[in-house]
Amino acid sequence: MLSPLLIVLIIIAFIILVVISNIKIVPQAYVYVVERLGTFHAAWGTGLHVKVPFIDRVAKKVSIKEQVVDFKPQSVITKDNVTMQIDTVVFFQITNAMQFTYGVERPISAIENLTATTLRNIVGDLDLEATLTSRDIINTRITAILDEATDRWGIKVQRVELKNILPPREIQDAMEKQMKADRERREKVIQAEAEKKSQILVAEGEKESKILRAQADKESQILAAEAEKQSMILRADAVKEQKILEAEGEAQAIEMVQRALADSIVKLNAANPNEAVIQLKSLEAFSKAADGKATKIIIPSEIQSLAGLATGLKEIVKDQKN
């Protein structure tokens, strides 16, 4: 027999265990779906919660973090009857724990099947080339369709990515040959462009060289013409200076002659010459006039008595000597 005290202790320990077992701490980024007597009761968020023993139970622990599911490749047929394998990656987040728990059985499998059927519908409207070059369009369309379909399940599809697109081997070989041909064609085009640019540069260099040579010849001719011009100007200036000097010399000579003549006249006037001296000077002037190149000479009547004038002059000279 157990003692009453031991029984009380056992009961107290049982109560403590029951209470402790019904205290729930919900961690961050989780939601606990709680049922009471088999019916949805509450969705517990982060924090401390206590459930009623034997009445409440945690039906599902739901993570509300964004999740990533990588589905296996799906076989799809394009519009031009090319069969290929496409595997997808779906990024989603649970926004309503209650709908996620009770909305659909095996929600991940439902998303996978929905993704496969949607992908087949979209790719079926595209040919091979469009499928290979329209990843962004396909991703956007699948995301929109899945997000709308899974909204009633409490799931928010963030985005869908096509991970791999694997066409048949013969198609891959043909594509590789086409890519190789395109690379070779681009290489030839690049080489042709390079050759063209090289020829253009050579032609431009020759053109610039001819232009520079022509400019050099032109400048040389201009410099030669300028030098000849300067030489002619200097020669003209020298001739001008020479003529000016000659003219100045002649002017100075004439001035000296005129000055000497004037001085002689002054001296002659100062000497008070007689009639005979005047006649003699007239005779000298006449002789100078006759010494020119005149073809006709008019002899004044006063010179007719030249013999008498010469005799008188001789007497005057004698008198001056005495």
Whether 282 has a pLDDT exceeding 80, the answer reads no
Q: Indicate the pTM of the whole model.
A: 0.52
Rounded to 5 degrees, what are φ and ψ at 298?
-95, 120
| Mean pLDDT calculated for residue range 199-213 | 89
Residues forming a β-bridge with 103 = none
In sequence order, the 6+-apart residues with CB closer than 8 A to the CB of 280 are 309, 313
- Calpha distance 247→305 (Å, rounded): 42
- DSSP assigned state of 301: G
pLDDT at 34 over 90: yes
How far is Cα 169 from Cα 164, in angstroms, rounded to an integer?
14
115 burial type by CB count under 10 A (0-12 exposed, 13-18 middle, 19+ buried) = buried
Residue-level pLDDT at 105: 87
Q: What is the pLDDT of residues 165-187, one digit of tens each?
A: 888 788 777 777 877 888 888 88
User: What integer best gives the mean pLDDT of the chain?
Assistant: 82
Q: Which pLDDT score is estimated for 187?
A: 87
Residue 317: per-residue pLDDT: 47
Angle at alpha carbon of residue 92, lines to 87 and 93, rounded to 5°: 160
pLDDT of 285 above 60: no
Joined tokens for residue 267: 């001296």
- 92, pLDDT greater than 80: yes
105 Rama class: left (phi>0) / alpha (psi -120 to 50) / beta = beta
Query: Which residues lie below 8 Å from residue 135, measured CB to CB, with a gap of 6+?
Result: 162, 165
Q: Does the structure show a pLDDT above 60 at 293?
A: no
Q: Looking at 62-66, 239-243, 268-272, 278-282, which range is the least confident one? A: 278-282
- Binned at pLDDT 50, 70 and 90, residue 252 comes out as confident
What whole-number distance in Å separates Cα of residue 242 and Cα of residue 253?
A: 16
